[in-house]
Structure 1
Amino acid sequence: MQNDLLEPKSKRNKFFQLLVVSSLIFGMFFGSGNLIFPVHLGQMAGNNWFAAAIGFAVSGSLFPLLAILAVVVTKSDGLYDLARPVGRHYAALFLVLVHLTIGPFFGTPRTAATAYEMAVKPFLPARFDRVSMLVFTALFFGVAYLLTVHQSKLLKYVGKYLNTIFLALLAVVFLVAFVNPMGGLNHMPTTTYQTTATVSGMLEGYNTVDAVALLALSVTFVHAVRGLGYKDKELSSLTARAGTLSIGLEVMIYLGLVLLGAFSLNKMKLSANGGDALSSIVGYYFGNFGAALLGLLVTLGVFTTAMGLVASFAQDFHKLFPKVSYLTWLRVTCFVSFVVANAGLDTIISWSLPVLMLLYPLSLALILVSLTVHNKPYAGVVYKMTIAFTVLPAVLDMFASAPAALQTGFVKFAVNTYHQYLPFASLGLGWVTPTLLGFVLGLVLGKMGVFVSNNDNVSQESKY
């Protein structure tokens, strides 16, 4: 279907199309965590803010960019196509796990819960909390559903309007804060950031989980670009350039947010978390109006993400189960997200973190092989070996992040052994060495002639 936003045949509009698609991609993955993590990082890093910001940008921006490029170079229509060389059953299982976690079981409900915590709860008496949460989340997902019923309109709503308003409000905050900074940047970093600021910043950026999110959202932005009339190489080129532009903007925003946090130490103490830090900073500059401004800013940020998540869930699940329509899957994910959101933000986070720790290594391993061997005749064996070597440390990372009640007996023994003997395991990066080992072993076996069937080759030439 031709998108009515722009006419792709007009050359003068191509740059505008690039900006709108970049805005769409940015709006879908830049949420509340991307706002608050860098601010707290700046407070913790003190005068080592720049080194910490570089580390944060590597994991918080470079990994998501690689996820976009993996989708582009493999010409994948979505997450299932990207993971299919590992095996059809694995691709289906991986798609389901990613979308359920990033979607209605965690990511999507968290958007509404965060918006409520920042934009509504501070202004209402505590006795109305449960009822107001119910009403707010119903409205939140009701509007999200209405704006994503027509898939071709997503580019207009998110890319052209909502994300533009979000960026304009954020620009106002930056302008006011940097014209009148709170002070200098000579504050002592916390212990962690005194000697390993870059590594610590990278680990903090790892918590954004944007690489996983962008894999899940890939079906939506590919569909949006195709809706503009682009195909084949033009589609790949526009998506790659738009993704690069959106990530570049994100890096600039990260630097600004880290600076805000570092400056704030002149007027306030180290906050317990990034949400408190950002709230205090906005309140300092904008007074009583600051709470409303921050609430609107956060709500816009998470709402565009929610729209991308519900649309991508419905699109990918319709592709996996074509007998069930896009609209039906859209209703399912919006309703389940509404129910889960009312469990409360703390509960959502505590039970979702272990699954995210499982999915992140598997996603990065998939990105690695997609970018390097997708068009090789031995691609299948490299995919299979890399993922096979990643699964065990990913599972152990999942158990290590699970609630304490689950870390008993053999599970506790296995996790302790894993942290003791595998490099970087205690940091949540124990998968790195096994993944690289599996990748190299797959290359060796592939070049020795141990091939997989042609059906498992990752080439997706017909997809676009």
Structure 2
Amino acid sequence: MKIKKASIRQSMIIASLIFGMLFGAGNLIFPVHLGQLAGSNWLIASSGFLVSGVLLPLMALLAISITRSNGIYDLALPNGRYYALIFLILVHATLGPLFATPRTATVPYEIGIAPYLSKSANTWGLLIYSAIFFSLVYIFSNYEGKITTLIGKVLNPLFLLLLFLIFLLAFIHPLGSGNTAAITASYARHAFSNGFLQGYNTMDGLAALAFGITIITAIKELGIKKTRQVSIETAKSGFLGIAGVAIIYLALIWLGATSLHQFKLAANGGITLAQISHHYLGTAGDAILATLATITCMTSAMGLVIAFSQDFHRRFPKISYRTFLRINCGLSFLFANLGLDQIIAWSTPILMFLYPLAITLIILGLLSPIFKHDRLVYQITTALTLIPAFFDMLNALPANLHDSQLLQTLLGFAQQYFPFFSLGFGWLTFGIAGLILGLICHVLKVRKRLGLLSE
């Protein structure tokens, strides 16, 4: 029987789907901000950023394919039903109404509207803008029709074309040399590790877990059924789609580094991107960028609210899909009005907690055929990763909480006993130790079973 393989055209369609699902609000602003923070160390920092922001999402897609999971819940299920449900809720709350979805409204607002209003006027401006934004997201998510085709096939490519134009002008007439840009203190010595941690903010590693089943299903609909072929096609299409994201990341990071010769270090990448756009394209460029950024972020928001509502309706069928959609859009509107800086500040501790758990889960999924999907390996690795991940979360809390006496005592303990804690990688040695210990237990269990059979 001949094994079905995807054509080049079909691979490109899946690659385009992966690119469209992952490229959103955070993909625009965090690379630019990273470039400003890293300065002349932008290349080293970008390598760390690409590992967590590009390689990890690809690994997540492969893990879902290899384990034949139907999403986050199934992938986490070896740790137990309660853990899988809690992990699902935390990931979707992070990608949904708490952080990622509100950010889809605040990023285009920060880029296109905020620079032209006073501080007091921006409060009302964001309120009105986000109300209209999430009303449209709710309507389009209910009645997609031709609007999604228009956005996906016409307006998103126009946005990428505008970005390409800015990149082209920047390469022809650079703002300055990236190699001579000032470096902030934290990136002078630990550019790679800080770049890696900045990659958490894109949330693409978590998003790939949430959207992964959609991509796997799309591949199977091409007639590719065998697990091995699905995995190969996921790797091939994933590489192509995520490579496109990686190229844009590198260009945005470089733009951020060179911008330091013209602009001061900004509070977030949205401000810097607006300044760069105005420098090259003037007021007309501002209007076009604001419009297209709104549209591309709206498509991201639609993907996020639909995935959230579908997954939660599947787990809690007594509550309708539309009810979850209303809850998500309503809460996203409320949290969006905290402003982009506040959303980033409060999302960081949650990401410092969730990402280590997601990374170990992805690695366990990839390695699971080796240890026959043994639950014990999952449970030992996850249990040991949970402890330092919790302390990493505490360490990333905003300053007003971080400086409390109790917290300083706890962090002092972690600083003393957790290797690499000061770099934000307190979980690393614990996770590796958990994996090794889990594998040893698995081998001993297999040997014991074989010994009993031989008797």
Aligned partner of 2:139 among 126, 131, 146: 146
**Runs of 4+ with deviation above 6 angstroms:** 150-155
Q: Report Cα offsets for 1:32-83 as digits up to 9, x if no partner.
A: 3322222233334444332232222122211122112211211211111111
1:29 to 2:22 alignment: yes
Aligned partner of 2:245 among 243, 247, 250: 250
Q: Give the conservation status (yes or no) of the 8 Å contact 1:220–1:308.
A: no
Question: Larger % of helix: which?
Answer: 2
Q: Report Cα offsets for 1:316-374 as digits up to 9, x if no partner.
A: 11221233333332232222222322333343333333222211111111111011125
Aligned partner of 2:66 among 73, 76, 91: 73
Range moving further from structure 2, 274-283 or 228-237: 228-237
Partner of 2:428: 432
Range moving further from structure 2, 441-450 or 276-285: 276-285
Partner of 2:171: 178
Range moving further from structure 2, 442-451 or 14-23: 14-23
Specify the code of the residue in structure 1 equivalent to 2:381.
Answer: T
Alignment: residue pair count: 441
Percent identical across equivalent pairs? 46
Distance of 2:369 and 2:82 partners within structure 1? 19
Aligned partner of 1:91 among 84, 91, 98: 84
Give the TM-score, by structure 2 length. 0.86
Partner of 2:339: 344
**Corresponding residue SS for 1:65:** helix
Structure 2 residue runs of 5 or longer lacking an equivalent are 448-455
Partner of 1:402: 397
Distance of 1:25 and 1:327 partners within structure 2? 25
Distance of 2:217 and 2:327 partners within structure 1? 21
1:371 to 2:359 alignment: no
Q: CA deviation at 1:306?
A: 1.1
Partner of 1:199: 193
1:447 to 2:443 alignment: yes
Aligned partner of 1:354 among 349, 353, 360: 349
Q: CA deviation at 1:230?
A: 5.7
Distance 1:355 1:373, change over 3 A: same
Range moving further from structure 2, 139-148 or 311-320: 139-148
Aligned partner of 2:207 among 213, 217, 220: 213
Specify the code of the residue in structure 1 equivalent to 2:339.
Answer: G
Q: Give the conservation status (yes or no) of the 8 Å contact 1:23–1:158.
A: no
Q: Report Cα offsets for 1:375-410 as digits up to 9, x if no partner.
A: 633521111111111111111112222244544354
**Corresponding residue SS for 1:48:** helix
Distance of 1:33 and 1:108 partners within structure 2? 10
Distance of 1:411 and 1:125 partners within structure 2? 37
Distance 1:202 1:386, change over 3 A: same
Partner of 1:281: 276
Partner of 2:294: 299
Distance of 2:149 and 2:223 partners within structure 1? 15
Q: Give the conservation status (yes or no) of the 8 Å contact 2:182–2:260.
A: no
Specify the code of the residue in structure 1 equivalent to 2:53.
Answer: G
Distance of 1:235 and 1:331 partners within structure 2? 35
Q: Give the conservation status (yes or no) of the 8 Å contact 1:42–1:260.
A: yes
1:384 to 2:379 alignment: yes
Q: Report Cα offsets for 1:237-268 as digits up to 9, x if no partner.
A: 44433322121111111221222233334444
Structure 1 residue runs of 5 or longer lacking an equivalent are 1-9, 452-464
**Corresponding residue SS for 1:359:** helix
Aligned partner of 1:55 among 31, 48, 57: 48
Distance 1:41 1:122, change over 3 A: closer
Distance 1:194 1:243, change over 3 A: same
Root mean square deviation, CA, Å:
3.0
Q: Report Cα offsets for 1:78-121 as digits up to 9, x if no partner.
A: 11111111111111111011111221122111211222232233
Partner of 1:117: 110
Partner of 1:20: 13
Specify the code of the residue in structure 2 equivalent to 1:221.
Answer: I
Partner of 1:4: none
**Corresponding residue SS for 2:192:** helix
Q: List aligned pairs for 1:155-170, cutoff 5 A.
A: 156=149, 159-170=152-163
1:38 to 2:31 alignment: yes
Specify the code of the residue in structure 2 equivalent to 1:182.
Answer: L
**Corresponding residue SS for 1:205:** helix
Distance of 2:257 and 2:140 partners within structure 1? 38
Distance of 1:406 and 1:47 partners within structure 2? 33
Distance of 2:337 and 2:175 partners within structure 1? 38
Specify the code of the residue in structure 2 equivalent to 1:415.
Answer: L
Partner of 1:315: 310
Specify the code of the residue in structure 2 equivalent to 1:447.
Answer: V
Specify the code of the residue in structure 2 equivalent to 1:442.
Answer: G
